[in-house]
Structure 1
């Protein structure tokens, strides 16, 4: 029996987007080329990085709760020369871990979906190495660490990300614009909203607002939910608290002015997005891509400074939604959009035009 070619996927759980994009690509490989390849996912920081870098996945939720410090760190190290200086300085510290990784996890192709991993893994692999592909999971303002000149191919989600790659020293022939890979569950043809609502137990006679804060339930979700419910608008509200059990408990203990449905970590997000009329969320790239695939207009209430700044610009400039930071501003935007269904229809059409539901398949076919 001939051994299957091995594809090694390198990621880390600093934010949900790296894992979800990696899983979407593997899913597309298995769907498009069943039984042809052996795929392996490695959380490199958790499984190989030296201390304290190996604790970054657990520390990430707390780190992003300090947006000023995060913004300073992002911008201080963002730049072609600064990124190369950083990786050169870090090499003696991470060299042993990187070399152990490439020795223990030999592969015929390496796919990287995390910016911190490109430089050390490429250096550890040496000159006689397998092909190395970077898949960028930030929509626009991706950090310079994403773009390494020795990568064989850099797959980016938008034209703006391509321009940034060139500005950071990559050659045009190294870059392809493919979209942002998301699970096939988010790429299905539109379902019947009435049937979807019936399955979810949502009212059929009210516009539905879907409020999410990512898998960790981040941001002022409780305050925004209360402000939307109290705004006097005739609507229903679905709030996804993710893994944030404390937030879910607080939401479930409330008396609500409108029909309100509270969820934890939810596998039915594709159905919810297709059944809802409006999405209220932070500017995470995966959520934006999933909403575009569902033709769901969006109101953005927050963003992580640095890599998510461009996501806000992307949504607004393409007519996919609006930027409304602040609890009361967000609630006012919900009232405005629910009062103007024609604007929502235009935004939904813009989502359909901009969406790239074939992104994962495009990566798998490279």
Structure 2
């Protein structure tokens, strides 16, 4: 445990009286030095400049999570967010935001751009080009904010700002520190790893190894800290404790009551499409409804629809008996059974078997190859079989889910359990009682994750880190090629989830149902998630950066006084 973790971990409350007495004596003996330290850190807050861009919600969310902690730890602190690429960049970089929105909706194009840009040749070209064309403008922009510290949370905002901060330090005669907080989890783009930063904070061992091998960043400059997530998750993690304990389950029911969910004593599945709305939410929810009813599992499906009001209303008005009939008919026509793929029998050299889910450990090589080749999908066969059968299908890709801000919509779609009487395979006596609830804008996603037993989502690093912080098992359904492939690997290798392509929604549904009917499996997934979770990452990072920044300020003041 680091010094920062020791100070802020809840376990620090268990320090013995003898230890506390020794600490007090040390403080008394060192009172003069301590007073000087405290006075230097309490006279004012810090002026923080975050370098970020709205290419997905994760970068801004990380910056705001850190900003909140700076304000809590160093009262009076202020912050600004600056997109230097859009403001001071040159083509094609200054059209990054528009380009991201297009590419994230076209994964094959994204993969091409990502792979080309994540090469040594492009890295050298971009570094030289941006420094030559943009450095003076970037330096002027940074100086205009007069910050105490600069923090980059975006890969395109590292190499040039590092040079600019170094030049500003020489011009002003005082140190302007710069730090990088890498917001990727299982893998990271090469442009993250500018070597001149004072410290680089990473979220996983995988990214740490990349920083050292690709970026040649010295190990002493890298801090393995976890991804910074919102303060709500630390609060809820503290309140929840052990999710699987009687106390944890009691708190979960309390949160469900506070959220006014229609049921509080049934398994709850939370479905999210991600900040950019990538993922076939409608088909996934349909498939889960059908499988839960068919297997006789009582459950609540909560769908975060964001500003996609059409999708939310559609869930509220959907004819679920009709959905059940059509999906079961399609399943019978295709002769499909459970397509869960046991990776224990699929070694790195084996031929890729039939579509299904990726789960278990020790298969890193084959996971990455499968994801790159797209081997784990039905290629739309299931959806083709359904074509024309389900009238209530909504294109939810056009209207993104804004999970970072806003309130739960006042008008929430809630569907009463549908009596099932459809065919010889499903009897009303054995049918599960399933409700589907669509909600609009949410700012309290941490509470929804506490209320859930399973999360179904795309492979965004922030969402994965949030789920892990609350020991919530996660079913991944889609990812951005290249950038998010490593996140799938991180979850699967970490043993707290699985991956099923959203092109095979019934495979997703079958795996989720398997978890719900196997309490031992669900508990194992939850405990593995808890091991990976770092709910206090934002606080620890802010504390470390703040302390180092004040140290630099003190050194600069001493140097000026002596001169």
Q: TM-score, normalised by structure 2?
A: 0.61
Deviation at 1:213, TM superposition (A): 1.1
Which of 337, 341, 347 pairs up with 2:519? 341
Which is worse superposed, 47-56 or 148-157? 47-56
Which is worse superposed, 249-258 or 235-244? 249-258
Q: What are the equivalent positions in structure 2 for 1:258-337 lying under 5 Å apart?
A: 258-325=434-501, 326-337=504-515
Deviation at 1:6, TM superposition (A): 2.0
Which of 301, 308, 311 pairs up with 1:237? 301
Helix, strand or coil: the match of 1:230? Answer: helix
Matching residue of 1:358: 536
CA contact (8 A) 1:50 1:97 kept: no
Which of 225, 229, 234 pairs up with 1:182? 229
Structure 1 residues 43-102: Cα deviation after superposition (integer angstroms, max 9, x where no partner): 334444456644432442322111111112112221445312222134444345424422
CA contact (8 A) 1:46 1:54 kept: yes
Residue 69 of structure 2 corresponds to residue 22 of structure 1: no
Q: 1:146 & 1:250 partners in 2: Cα distance? A: 41
C-alpha distance 137-228 of structure 1, shift in aligned 2 (>3 A): same
Helix, strand or coil: the match of 2:538? Answer: helix
C-alpha distance 148-81 of structure 1, shift in aligned 2 (>3 A): farther
Helix, strand or coil: the match of 2:150? Answer: strand
Structure 1 residues 231-279: Cα deviation after superposition (integer angstroms, max 9, x where no partner): 2243110000123344334333323452111012211211110111110
Matching residue of 1:34: 75
Task: Please list every run of 5 or more consecutive structure 1 residues that lacks an aligned counterpart in the other structure.
Answer: none
Residue 66 of structure 2 corresponds to residue 6 of structure 1: no
C-alpha distance 3-198 of structure 1, shift in aligned 2 (>3 A): closer
Matching residue of 2:283: 223
RMSD: 2.0
CA contact (8 A) 2:139 2:168 kept: no
CA contact (8 A) 1:142 1:161 kept: yes
CA contact (8 A) 2:59 2:154 kept: yes
Which of 177, 184, 190 pairs up with 1:131? 177
Deviation at 1:5, TM superposition (A): 3.9
C-alpha distance 248-46 of structure 1, shift in aligned 2 (>3 A): farther
Deviation at 1:103, TM superposition (A): 3.5
Q: 1:255 & 1:45 partners in 2: Cα distance? A: 48
Deviation at 1:160, TM superposition (A): 1.1
Q: 1:261 & 1:100 partners in 2: Cα distance? A: 50
Deviation at 1:308, TM superposition (A): 1.0
Helix, strand or coil: the match of 1:259? Answer: strand
C-alpha distance 216-241 of structure 1, shift in aligned 2 (>3 A): farther
Q: 1:152 & 1:207 partners in 2: Cα distance? A: 47
Helix, strand or coil: the match of 2:239? Answer: coil
Structure 1 residues 204-246: Cα deviation after superposition (integer angstroms, max 9, x where no partner): 2321110001234321111111111122243110000123344
Structure 1 residues 85-139: Cα deviation after superposition (integer angstroms, max 9, x where no partner): 2221344443454244224223221100000111122233443431110000000
Write 1 or 2 for the structure with the bigger share of helix. 2
Q: 1:197 & 1:5 partners in 2: Cα distance? A: 39
CA contact (8 A) 2:45 2:75 kept: no
CA contact (8 A) 2:55 2:100 kept: yes
The runs of at least 4 aligned residues of structure 1 exceeding 6 Å deviation read none
CA contact (8 A) 1:318 1:350 kept: yes
Matching residue of 1:156: 202
CA contact (8 A) 2:308 2:440 kept: yes
Q: 2:45 & 2:436 partners in 1: Cα distance? A: 50
Q: 1:51 & 1:140 partners in 2: Cα distance? A: 29
Q: 1:3 & 1:286 partners in 2: Cα distance? A: 31
Matching residue of 1:167: 213
CA contact (8 A) 1:7 1:40 kept: yes
Deviation at 1:38, TM superposition (A): 2.8
C-alpha distance 160-52 of structure 1, shift in aligned 2 (>3 A): closer
Q: 1:216 & 1:75 partners in 2: Cα distance? A: 21
Task: Please list every run of 5 or more consecutive structure 2 residues that lacks an aligned counterpart in the other structure.
Answer: 1-42, 170-175, 241-250, 321-417, 419-433, 545-563
Which is worse superposed, 190-199 or 220-229? 190-199
CA contact (8 A) 2:44 2:75 kept: no
